[in-house]
Amino acid sequence: NAGVTQTPKFQVLKTGQSMTLQCAQDMNHNSMYWYRQDPGMGLRLIYYSASEGTTDKGEVPNGYNVSRLNKREFSLRLESAAPSQTSVYFCASRDRGPVDTQYFGPGTRLTVL
């Protein structure tokens, strides 16, 4: 049981390049989330998927797209990277059991030059 996994761990892009961040969970959770973490700003929600086949915008969706490929996988795409997207990206999935909270992946550290 690996929990939430993310690839890659690190990435450097040039302005205008595109890339996809991958996330997978093996806990059979319905809901999945993408956050970005910037110093002093905590975690900000980019997009989430309440269930397979649905996606919704969070606080900071501009410049990103997502795909909920199946129940396990939720990817985040940057079509044309900008320096303002330099951040650490976390994927999470939600357990609606007694605690009803989220479990996080290890993060992807992205630098856009």
How far is the C-alpha of 73 from the C-alpha of 49, rounded, in Å?
Answer: 10
E-strand stretches of the chain: 4-7, 10-13, 19-25, 31-37, 43-49, 56-57, 64-68, 74-78, 87-95, 101-104, 108-112
By CB under 8 A, name the one of 50, 55, 63, 72 that touches another protein: 50
Pick between residue 49 and residue 85 the one whose CB is nearest to another protein.
Answer: 49
Q: Is 106 in the site for another protein (CB under 8 A)?
A: yes
Please list every residue from 57 through 86 that binds another protein, using CB under 8 A: 58
111 binds another protein (CB under 8 A): no
Report if residue 94 touches another protein, rule: CB under 8 A: yes
CA separation for the pair 29, 60 (Å, rounded): 23
Contacting positions for another protein (CB under 8 A): 4, 31, 33, 40-43, 45, 48, 50, 56, 58, 90, 92, 94, 99-107
